[in-house]
Structure 1
Amino acid sequence: MYYTKPELRRTDEHSSLIKWYLSFQKGNCPDLEFLEVNTKLDSKDCELPVCIQALQMACPKLKTFRMLNVRPLHKTMRNGADSPSGFPLLEELCIATTSYSYMTDKDLWDILFGSTRLRVLDLRGCSRITPYGLTLLPCLELECLFWGQYFSSNVGLPSPKKGLHTVTQKWSRTLQQLDIANQLFAEEDLETAMSHLAHGTEADTLRSLNLSGTRITPPALRPVIGQMTALSYLNLSSCRYLPRGLKRIYRGQEDIRQLLDKLE
């Protein structure tokens, strides 16, 4: 069964977010397991100061943490104290946004340094996060990585990025869903990354792959399609390095198998 990405829907006002933050500063929620913060899609002021250390100490049992369409501004505690264990039970972190994200590798590490049980990581729109930052994370059995840059101002820039192969190598055994839409990694890097997925994953593990807007090439696609027998969703729309007629969304194993024949 697929994990369903949370929608960037219209909900709370910015003033409500500030009240939410202040309530955590004053209180303690030792049994809280689910926390979602969401704001309007058209909000012009969606920045929210968040002290991650305070939240980690207030909510040590948190399992799901979502901040949708919010730009968290990380603040430190006045006494300089750090949470000794972070979020040890966290299984899902979502920091998806429709606008510019301040999230850096260090910010991500400050949240996840103790989250060895993480299964779902949603970083849509977080253009500052790098492959190096992801490979440092302590979670070894990540199942879903959503890293598409749908709303990033960097989309369309010609400079190729590198390092994706280190990410797929790290989680090649466990990834079930991977979304790197509009991430402009170099062709060679993509080919190596797909090879890690094809040879490091069980045939029935990877089920969804979004490569829309990337520099994926036919040689890079062949091993993944040929090896991944459970792959049932493949997005190749706007992939300019593929032949005409192949740049679309494929659903179902039969549809994807037919694509393999065309790539031969």
Structure 2
Amino acid sequence: MHYTQPKLWRTDKLGTLNISYLSFQKGNCPDLELLEVNTKLDSKGCELPICIQALQMACPKLKTFRMLNVRPLHKMMRNGADSTLGFPLLEELCIATTSYSYMTDKDLWDILFGSARLRVLDLRGCSRITPFGLATLPCLELECLFWGQYFNSNVTLSSPKKGLHMVTQKWSRTLQQLDIANQLFTEEDLEIAMSHLAQATEADTLRSLNLSGTKITPPALRPVIGQMTALSYLNLSSCRYLPRGMKRIYRGQEDIRLLLDKLE
């Protein structure tokens, strides 16, 4: 099933979260399965102090956790307690933002260290997260990874990245949707990363691939397009390392196959 990303400009629910958070701290939500907080797109400087440990202890059955356009500020428990199982049932985590993100590898690990069942991970705008941080996560069957950088002025100022191949190697058999738009990985790293996806031919599950704004090259694209017969969405817009005429969005297998003919 194709997963639809939550939009970053949904109705403001911050007031609801603030009220509910008092209940979380008291441990009154043991059966809560979905928690979402988001602000409007034009909201600026929305920071939310939150104790992940307290939330994990109060909501052990949480399956969906979304924080849209909110910058979480992690707080420690006052009593120093560290006995928690994390979110063992969590299937979706969304911490997407159109603004600056404080989220680091350690912050992500503190949330997901016990989430082996995670299927959807939305890190749009989280520029501090690294491939190494993703590769160490306990979830082995991730289906959707949204890691594109949008509306972030820091993207163009970033130095070249490496390590994407660790991510695609870890989840090559299970990924159905991958978005790394505007991630500045090197040409060589992208080629290795795409080869890992192409080598998982027995799975062939990849349906959507967003490479917009990356340094993807024709040699890196060929194996993915040639092997991934389930691929029905391919975004190559603003890919400056591709020949003129190829930098666009491709929809459907027929359209993508025509691109393969041009690459050969």
* Interval of TM-score (by shorter of Structure 1 and Structure 2): over 0.9
CA distance, structure 2, for counterparts of residue 68 and residue 166 of structure 1: 27
CA distance, structure 2, for counterparts of residue 15 and residue 203 of structure 1: 44
Q: Residue 121 of structure 2 corresponds to which residue in structure 1? A: 121
* CA separation of 1:83 and 1:67: change in aligned 2, threshold 3 A: farther
User: Is structure 2 residue 140 aligned with structure 1 residue 137?
Assistant: no
By how many angstroms is 1:240 displaced?
Answer: 0.1
Give the count of matched residue pairs. Answer: 264
Of residues 197-206 and 113-122 in structure 1, the stretch that sits farther from structure 2 once superposed is: 197-206
* CA separation of 1:87 and 1:203: change in aligned 2, threshold 3 A: closer
Q: Which runs of 5+ in 1 are unaligned?
A: none
User: Is structure 2 residue 187 aligned with structure 1 residue 187?
Assistant: yes
Q: Residue 232 of structure 2 corresponds to which residue in structure 1? A: 232
Task: Provide the TM-score with structure 2 as the length reference.
Answer: 0.96
CA contact (8 A) 1:131 1:167 kept: yes
* CA separation of 1:3 and 1:36: change in aligned 2, threshold 3 A: same
Q: Residue 164 of structure 2 corresponds to which residue in structure 1? A: 164
* CA separation of 1:29 and 1:15: change in aligned 2, threshold 3 A: closer
User: Is structure 2 residue 115 aligned with structure 1 residue 95?
Assistant: no
* CA separation of 1:92 and 1:83: change in aligned 2, threshold 3 A: farther
Q: Residue 6 of structure 1 corresponds to which residue in structure 2? A: 6
By how many angstroms is 1:27 displaced?
Answer: 3.8
By how many angstroms is 1:83 displaced?
Answer: 4.1
By how many angstroms is 1:15 displaced?
Answer: 4.6
User: Is structure 2 residue 178 aligned with structure 1 residue 178?
Assistant: yes
CA distance, structure 1, for counterparts of residue 203 and residue 17 of structure 2: 44
Q: Residue 79 of structure 1 corresponds to which residue in structure 2? A: 79
Partner of 1:25, secondary structure, is: helix
1:130-151: CA deviation from partner (whole Å, max 9, x where unpaired): 0000001000000000000012
1:222-257: CA deviation from partner (whole Å, max 9, x where unpaired): 000000000000000000000000000000000000
By how many angstroms is 1:41 displaced?
Answer: 1.4
Partner of 2:48, secondary structure, is: strand
CA distance, structure 1, for counterparts of residue 245 and residue 209 of structure 2: 19
1:158-194: CA deviation from partner (whole Å, max 9, x where unpaired): 6211000010001011000000000000000000000
CA contact (8 A) 1:14 1:45 kept: no
By how many angstroms is 1:110 displaced?
Answer: 0.2
TM superposition outliers: structure 1 runs of 4+ over 6 Å: none
Q: Residue 220 of structure 1 corresponds to which residue in structure 2? A: 220
Of residues 173-182 and 35-44 in structure 1, the stretch that sits farther from structure 2 once superposed is: 35-44
By how many angstroms is 1:109 displaced?
Answer: 0.1
By how many angstroms is 1:16 displaced?
Answer: 4.5
CA distance, structure 2, for counterparts of residue 81 and residue 208 of structure 1: 42
Of residues 213-222 and 15-24 in structure 1, the stretch that sits farther from structure 2 once superposed is: 15-24
CA contact (8 A) 1:174 1:201 kept: no
By how many angstroms is 1:52 displaced?
Answer: 0.3
Q: Residue 50 of structure 1 corresponds to which residue in structure 2? A: 50
Of residues 182-191 and 14-23 in structure 1, the stretch that sits farther from structure 2 once superposed is: 14-23
Partner of 2:260, secondary structure, is: helix
Task: Provide the TM-score with structure 1 as the length reference.
Answer: 0.96
CA distance, structure 1, for counterparts of residue 113 and residue 158 of structure 2: 33
